[in-house]
Amino acid sequence: MVDAALLGARVASGAVTPLIRKLFVKHEPGAGLVDRPVRISALVSFGRQKQSVTPKDVDRIAGELVSRALKAAGPQERPVDTSEAPAVKEALARTLALLGEITIEDYEAVGLGPDGFARLLRTRVTLSRYGLSEAGELLYERLLYTASLHILNFFTQRSTYVARQQTLQTQQLARLVQAVDVLLERLPAQHPSDAGFEARYADHIAARYGTLTIYGLDAGTREWPLDAAYLSLEATRQPTRRDGHPPQDPLHVPAEQVLARHDQVLLRGVAGSGKTTLVQWLAVTTASRTYDHGLSHLLGRVPFVLPMRRIVRPEAEFPFPGDFLRAVGCPVAGEQPTGWVERVLRARRAVLLVDGIDEIAGDRREAARRWLRDLVRAYPGNLWLVTSRPSAVPEDWLGAEGFDEVGLAAMTRDDVATFVRRWHRAAGADGAVGESLLRSVRTTSELNRLATNPLMCGMLCALHRDRRGFLPQDRKSLYEAALTMLLERRDRERELRDPDGVRIGYATQVQLLQKLAWWLIRNSRAEMDRSDAVHIIGRALPALSLGDTGAEDVYRSLLLRSGLLREPADGRVDFLHRTFQDYLGARLAVQELDFDLLVNNAELDEWEDVILLALAHARPREAEAMLRRLAERGTAREALLAAAGLRYVAEVDPEVRELVEERLRTLVPPPHPAAAKAVAQAGGELVLGLLPGPEELDTERALRVIDVAAELGSEAALHFLARFRDHPDDNVQFGLAGYWQNFDRELYAREILAYLPRRCSVGARTAEDLRVLRSLGGWQRMAISGAYRVDDLTELIDAEPLTHLALEAPHPVEGLSWLAAFPNLTHVLLATEVDETVARQVPAGVRLASLDSHAHRG
């Protein structure tokens, strides 16, 4: 067989070009400069109201490309068997059909190049559903590249493209001139030795801060390149203020762009949220002396990284500008020209990155504020970013100096996925290990709750890799590893030595945090008064080895250094992660022998994790007694909780185990459809871990299991359901198709619908639903609910495959003559009766029925 990678070159341009041109409308002369950009989708002939090319024509074009490629190879060198050619054609046709949905402009597509443009199209197609062999995938990729090459060439030959490019080049030249003007303004006549030193200093910044370090992890290499690991998080500011000042405008921007909006920013973020990483990225980007990052406010500037824990010495004064480099231990400080820092500041070229106000003693923070105030006033016009944990300094701490306050947001689902993949790539780990971790994070609620910031995600990655693709099998071990990192190792490895003069050992911190957690749980509170927290700590101090340290000092140390507590409002305190609150509270509950209290609250959702983790901490006889009581009390909720608890107990009496498992068998799988909802409501997310997989079930029980998971509607439930997408029974696959609107539409479509046969019936409520369904290809059976626009139906439903259509709108909109747009339609079901005039509009051969009338024959 011929190498498929060479095959595209054998398909002559003269053969491909006419086929590609058929996909696009004829163009008119002009620059194409309109109020709204001209998208590629607007150029595609089959994406327009008046089609010159239909989706069936796209199939023919794809088939022709495959046919000509195979003919060019010859019968002896065909890269795939003849039987696989239709699947390659179908995948290629589906990909080319996406041209009607691409929203970027033609010049942007050309800028991507054929590889990038082919990749853009390819990522929108679930290739696995076509069952291609490796050779088939390679042929598909090669033909897509060939088609992309000719598509981009076609764009460049359009007269509107040429005229538009000339206009865009003029605009780009104007922006470049503006950037040069900015650069010249920021680079006044320098001291003779300044330029050479700045280049040397920039190299130092790139080397010093160009790697990212994760502290407190046991596994392997801890550093990797910053440009490969940096994750852009969102900086936010809420529109209201608690101090009576006028409301601020809300803010939601990438964190690295906050200095483009405001010259002076105080950035708050919890432990491990990425504050120091952002400081490093800004320093390296500013020092790069390149102008392709799009952040014009950093052009020509000089970064000064000022970690507070390094520049603040006991009893020493804060450094003057000329001493900045020496204060942070910069090795090139001795080469610094006299007065260089002051010249940079006076020229308003500095980016001052003051990291970690929380990492200096509380009695020095007021002095730090005065130091910042004096510098800002002496050298106005520079860029300032000051970082702190949320509770270290009061709100509006630098407001009088003109600083805007923003916070780092928690990581989104996509952020977590990006971080995990980059972590494994940078650490040289197998990508499959990272994908396995992502599946665990998405399907396990406690991991999902932990993965909220880079520190915790890094911890999960390291633990997962260190254990060869498996996280600790029990949650207890996972939380113990996390607590060791947060409470002990991280500050020690960062060489941070008790900034507030309070040294609290690991075991003591755990004991105190347990008391706060158990108080919150017992009192059904999400947060507590600060005074109550100090009181609880004060009562515990006589039994602890902390000398004469006061309760207030101990509280402040726990708040700022543990990474587990925060003050969400003035005078209030809570746990940053509820899952740690439950873990710590469960430890103390077992120590205090509060088993009756635990079992008596089993019906409450908020006690679920506390009870499970208490079982993990309990001694065997204590755990058995809890399990027996839960199983015997009679409610479905308690029976499911007992069954889940078996996994948390290392040793269980066989009699107790059989009792718990027998109760579970009466609930899972549910005996009939009506019971599925009751089981889901009783168990919540807990029930997912108790449901059997597809390989253990016959069709009827598989349907009941699907019903339970679908009632939950969570991302974890979605990933559980994905295990059933290859089930051989049509009824199971039809059942999966019917539940897609219970979940995030795009995710469900990508993870489940893409794998189901197109004869399944799918529903849609909005035009966006129709777009998602169209991206997967055509469907034979569709149900449209709610009001609809005829244009949406005719433009967004793939016309060829559709045979059955149900319209659940209150009444047919704009008659029914538009049904002629669907040539293979045979059955239409309406939610309401229609009169004979409307019924006669139905095309011949289509059977029309309504929910409350007899059928009509069209």
Q: What is d(CA 463, CA 458) in angstroms, rounded to the nearest whole number? A: 9
Average pLDDT over residues 108-127: 75
Where a domain ends, among 601, 636, 665? 665
pLDDT of res. 627: 94
CA nearest to 795, candidates 27, 49, 1, 14: 49
- What mean pLDDT do residues 377-396 have? 88
DSSP per residue over 680-732, as a string? Answer: HHHHGGGGGGGSPPGGG--HHHHHHHHHHHHHH-SHHHHHHHGGGTT-S-HHH
Tell me the per-residue pLDDT of 406-428, one tens digit each, with 9 for 90 and over: 988 888 888 888 888 888 777 77
- Which structure tokens are listed for 213? 């370090």
| Residue percentage of the chain with pLDDT more than 90 | 23
Q: Are residues 444 and 473 in the same domain?
A: yes
Q: Note whether 286 and 390 are same-domain residues.
A: yes
Q: Is the peptide bond before 247 cis (omega within 30 degrees of 0)?
A: no
Structural contact between residues 306 and 352, judged by C-beta atoms closer than 8 angstroms:
yes
SS3 of residue 757 by DSSP: coil
Lowest mean pLDDT across 5-14, 459-468, 704-713, 719-728: 5-14
Nearest 10 degrees: Cα torsion 22, 23, 29, 31? -160
425 and 489 together in one domain: yes
Mean pLDDT, rounded, of the chain:
79
All residues at 6 or more sequence positions from 361 whose CB lies less than 8 Å from its CB, including other chains: 499, 500, 501
Q: Are residues 71 and 133 in the same domain?
A: yes
State whether residue 849 is helix, strand or coil.
Answer: strand
What is the average pLDDT across 469-477? Answer: 64
Contact 250, 239 (CB under 8 A): yes
Tell me the pLDDT band of 25, cut-offs 50, 70 and 90: low
Instruction: Please give the pLDDT value at position 165.
Output: 60
Helices (H), 467-562: 475-484, 490-493, 506-522, 530-540, 551-561
Angle at 587 between CA 582 and CA 590, to 5 degrees: 120
Q: Quick one: pLDDT band at residue 493, thresholds 50, 70, 90?
A: low
Packing angle of the helix pair 134-157, 85-97 (nearest 10 deg) = 40
- pTM over cut 0.85: no
* 400 plus 254 within the same structural domain: yes
In terms of average pLDDT, the best of 90-94, 180-184, 377-381, 767-771 is 377-381
| Range of 94-98, 514-518, 695-699 with top mean pLDDT | 514-518
Contact 714, 442 (CB under 8 A): no
Higher-confidence residue of 571 and 51: namely: 571
Band (620; pLDDT cuts 50, 70, 90): very high
Rounded CA-CA distance 108/391 in Å is 45
| Gyration radius from the chain CA atoms | 32
Query: Residue 151 pLDDT more than 90?
Result: no
Q: How many domains does the chain have?
A: 5
Helices (H), 22-158: 40-43, 55-73, 85-97, 106-122, 134-157
Q: In sequence order, which residues have a C-beta less than 8 Å from that of residue 784 and are 6 or more positions away? A: 763, 764, 765, 793, 805, 806, 807, 808, 809
Q: Is 155 exposed, middle or buried (0-12, 13-18, 19+ CB in 10 A)?
A: buried
> Which range has highest mean pLDDT (247-256, 325-334, 432-441)?
325-334
Q: Are 694 and 709 in contact (CB under 8 A)?
A: no
Q: Would residue 744 count as lying in a domain? A: no
How far is 349 from 341, CA to CA, in rounded Å? 10
Mean pLDDT on 819-831? 89
Nearest-angstrom CA–CA distance, 118 and 489:
47
Whether residues 797 and 845 share a domain: the answer is: yes
Same domain, 523 and 603: no
Closest Cα partner for 185 from 4, 320, 347, 40? Answer: 347
Tell whether 447 is covered by a domain: yes
Same domain, 56 and 11: yes
The DSSP code for 24 is B
How far apart (Å, rounded) are the C-alpha atoms in residues 488 and 636? Answer: 41
Q: Are residues 388 and 433 in the same domain?
A: no
Neighbours of 253 (CB within 10 A): 14
| Residue 38 confidence class, pLDDT cut points 50, 70, 90 | very low
Per-residue confidence at 384, pLDDT binned at 50, 70, 90?
very high
Mean pLDDT of 553-563: 83
* C-alpha separations of 613 from 441, 520, 581, 683, 854 in Å: 19, 16, 11, 17, 60
Higher pLDDT, 114 or 336: 336
How much is the pLDDT for 43?
A: 46
CB 301 within 8 A of CB 321: no
Among residues 376, 409, 442, the one where a domain terminates is 409
Tell me what the mean pLDDT of segment 692-696 comes to.
Answer: 85
Q: Is residue 26 part of a domain?
A: yes
Domain with residue 288: its CATH number is: 3.40.50.300
Residues 6+ away with beta carbon under 8 Å from 716: 442, 443, 444, 445, 448, 685, 688
Give all strands (DSSP E) within 363-403, no chain letters. Answer: 383-388
- pLDDT of res. 533: 94
Residues 549, 612: Cα–Cα separation, whole Å: 35
- How many helices and strands in the chain, by DSSP H and E? 39, 18
* CA-based end-to-end distance of the chain: 53
Q: Write out pLDDT tens, residues 192-224.
A: 778 889 989 999 999 888 887 654 444 444 566
Could you write out the three-class secondary structure of 426-440? HCCCCHHHHHHHHHH
The answer to whether residue 27 sits within a structural domain is: yes
Beta-strand runs (E) in 316-445: 350-355, 383-388, 404-408
The reply to whether 752 falls in a domain is no
- Residue 730 vs residues 170, 672, 703, 777: alpha-carbon distances, Å: 59, 19, 11, 19
The gap from C-alpha 332 to its chain's centroid, in whole angstroms, comes to 40
Q: Is the pLDDT of residue 382 over 90?
A: yes
H or E segment and range at residue 637: helix 636-645
* pLDDT value at 511 more than 70: yes
Percentage of residues in the chain with pLDDT exceeding 70? 77
How distant, in Å, are the alpha carbons of 505, 512, 538, 540, 541 from that of 547?
13, 15, 13, 13, 9
Q: Give 858's pLDDT tier (boundaries 50, 70, 90).
A: very low
724 occurs within a structural domain:
no
Count how many residues are written for the chain.
858
Residue 104: the pLDDT is 64
Domain final residue pick, 665, 690, 714: 665
User: Please, which pLDDT band fits residue 322 given cuts at 50, 70 and 90?
Assistant: very high
Same domain, 365 and 246: yes
Identity of residue 220 = G
- Cβ neighbours, 10 Å, residue 55: 22
The more confident residue out of 187 and 606 is 606
Please, are residues 254 and 235 in contact by the beta-carbon 8 Å criterion?
yes
Closest CA to 586 of 558, 622, 533, 554: 622
**Token representation of residue 449:** 């709750």
Is residue 341 located within the same domain as residue 255? yes
Distance (Å, rounded) from C-alpha 721 to C-alpha 711? 11
For residue 290, the enclosing domain spans 209-216+227-409
Which of 33-37, 91-95, 170-174, 324-328 comes out lowest in average pLDDT?
A: 33-37
| Cα 832 to Cα 809: distance, rounded to the nearest angstrom | 8
776: DSSP letter: T
Classify residue 748: in a domain, yes or no: no
pLDDT greater than 60 at residue 492: no
Neighbouring C-beta atoms of residue 279, cutoff 10 Å: 24
36 and 118 part of one domain? yes
pLDDT for res 166: 61
On whether residue 763 sits in a domain, the answer given is yes
Tell me the C-alpha distance between 87 and 186, whole Å: 59
Please give the average per-residue pLDDT across 495-506, as a whole number. 65
Q: What is the pLDDT of residue 48?
A: 39
pLDDT per residue over 526-554, tens digit each? 889 999 999 999 999 988 877 778 899 89
CA dihedral 617, 620, 622, 624 (to 10 degrees): 120
